[in-house]
Amino acid sequence: MLPRHSTSPVRLKGHPDLREDLPLLARIAPFLACVLLAVLVLTSLNPSPWSSPTHLFLRRPPPLIEADDHVPPVSGCSDTSLTALEGRENAAIVLLIRESDLPELLPTLSSFESRFNARFRYPYVFVSDPDDPPLPDEFKLEVGKVLPEGAVTEWGVVPEAHWRIPEWMDQTEVRAGFILQEERGVQYAGREGYHHMCRWYSGLWARHPLLAKYDWYWRLEPGVRFYCTISYDPFRFLALHNKVYGFAITVIDQINTIPSLIPTVLDYLEAKGIKPRDPHSWEFLMRKNGDDYAACHFWTNFEIGDLRFFRSREYQDLFRALDQAGGFYTERASCEILWGDAPVRALALGALAGIDKIHHFEDIGYQHDWFFQCPSRSTSLLGPLSTKEGESVAGCQCECPMAGDLQGREKGRELVDMNDDWRYSCMSFWKDAVRKSRGK
């Protein structure tokens, strides 16, 4: 007879031990269920970009980190065996292209893949304008050859209504203005498609159907080059630090392209009772050279941004007001007006976001045309390396060109280092604005 409080199993005479007859799979089923549940949870948090033809993205609530204008740039190399396993943002690489862009597009994609996206595998969204013939299958095949196997690509066209002179403008008068603008030396003013592009990238692009499912975009253009390895995820970097925008180069605009843009924006802000979020970025944008605005802005051929900000009512209301003003094309008899998307973007960020929402990617070596930026130091060491005040940022595995190089171009188009060239760059003014925001 068993003790009163014994926990030993009682086996009745003539009855077999049922546990011994249970199949092995049935006995370990609870354990397998727990393992499967754990795998599903971990996969949803850190999905593999290789696991399916479409990406699974990290969807999380807004960052808990407060916006911090003291976030230093990344310096040194991250361990890509770890960063490539982190969760992805809901993001895409966006390109506006034509069939004639192919010779410049292929080296750009090759450069971008080798320096960044081969490890992080973000999808590409290729958009063409409706005035060009549809991109042929041969074009898409050539693009596929320079991308890794399994790369996700989406192809679309700008809606025709977004690539036309608005119906509230006199088309004959507008096109006559294009001719006058070109005669007066306004850059690109004689090309109607350029006007459409400026208008589209100023506000309409964020509402393109192919981008509706994404939260972030990285704008890429044919012909650009990357000179440093980007061993971390810039999308994730911006998201974790509660930023809405990142840039590489800041330039002084041609003042004859935007003589009325800033007054129009100021009038709009006053009418709506909107005060710029901080004085420092606004001071950077409102610089004057005598009586004229110096028009510093972020060069939008490289930009990484939060589409939720650019789709917001505040941003879209500002864009619509500028669109109604007509400055993307011309204003009646005035023939000096051509508002570009870069100054529009910068003014909107200054008014609606502020300096603590904007990040300068000074660790990324980048070139467009004959303008480039590159870190002054390069390393292969795993960081983070020191970025104390006065110490230069170290890019990861950079192979930077030299200022003054022609790279096969004609004389007069030598490479310009936009980190410190006073003729074209606003970088010193931007750094001054950042220092003032930090109370230094």
CA 409, 414, 375, 341 torsion-angle sign: negative
The span from the CA of 154 to the CA of 147, in Å, is 13
Task: Please report the pLDDT score of residue 147 as a whole number.
Answer: 98
Q: What's the farthest any 2 CA atoms get from each other in the chain?
A: 112
Strands 366-368 and 371-373: antiparallel
| CA distances in angstroms from 84 to 87, 96, 234, 366, listed in the order given | 8, 27, 12, 22
Tell me which DSSP letter residue 117 carries: I
- CA distances in angstroms from 357 to 213, 240, 244, 301, 306, listed in the order given: 23, 12, 6, 19, 10
**pLDDT of res. 173:** 86
| pLDDT score recorded for residue 214 | 98
Residue matched to tokens 């220092």: 435
Task: Give the start-to-end residue ranges of the domains of the chain.
Answer: 80-437
- Determine the pLDDT at residue 336: 47
Q: In DSSP terms, which residues pair with 128 in a beta bridge?
A: 97, 157
> CA geometry: angle at 327 spanning 322 and 328, to 5°?
95
Residue 254: phi and psi, rounded to 5, are -70, 115
Quick one: pLDDT at residue 438? 84
Tokens of 139: 């074009």
DSSP SS3 for 326:
coil
The residues with which 217 forms a beta bridge, in sequence order, are 92, 305
pLDDT at 55: 36
* Per-residue pLDDT tens listing for the chain (440 residues): 444 444 444 343 444 444 444 455 556 666 666 656 654 544 444 443 333 333 333 334 344 344 445 688 899 999 998 998 899 999 999 999 999 999 999 999 999 999 999 999 999 999 999 999 999 999 999 999 999 999 999 999 999 999 999 999 988 888 887 887 777 766 666 788 889 999 999 999 999 999 999 999 999 999 999 999 999 999 999 999 999 999 999 998 765 556 688 889 999 999 999 999 888 889 888 876 655 666 788 999 999 999 999 999 999 999 999 999 988 887 433 444 568 899 999 999 999 999 999 999 999 999 999 899 999 888 988 877 765 655 678 899 999 999 889 888 888 888 999 988 888 899 999 999 999 988 86
Residue appearing with tokens 């502020």: 354
- Alpha-carbon distance of 216 to 206, in angstroms, equals 10
Strand (E) or helix (H) holding 6: none
β-pairing, 371-373 vs 377-379, is unpaired
Which residue in 221, 303, 336, 362 is the catalytic one? 303
**Homologous superfamily of 80-437 in CATH?**
Spore Coat Polysaccharide Biosynthesis Protein SpsA; Chain A (3.90.550.10)
Alpha-carbon distance of 437 to 435, in angstroms, equals 5
Task: Write the DSSP assignment of 369-380 as a string of letters.
Answer: TTEEE--SEEE-
C-alpha to C-alpha distance for 221 and 113, rounded to whole angstroms: 14
pLDDT given for residue 33 in this prediction: 65
Here the tokens at position 141 are 């095949």
Tell me the residue type at 8. S
For position 126, what pLDDT does the model report? Answer: 98
20 included as an active-site residue: no
Q: How far apart are CA 285 and CA 346, in angstroms?
A: 8
Q: What is 192-260 written as a DSSP string?
A: HHHHHHHHHHHTGGGG-GGGTT-SEEEE--TT-EE-S---S-HHHHHHHTT-SEEES-EEE--GGG-TT
Strands 358-360 and 245-247 turn out to be parallel
Identify the bridge partners of residue 216 per DSSP, sorted by sequence position: 91, 306
Closest among 237, 250, 274, 241 to 356, alpha carbons compared? 241
pLDDT of residue 34: 63
Sign, Cα dihedral of 103, 105, 108, 112: negative
Which amino acid, residue 260? S
> Which pTM does this prediction carry?
0.82
Buried b (16+ CB within 10 A) or exposed e, 374-383: bbeebbeeeb
Residue 163 CA to residue 200 CA, distance in Å, equals 7
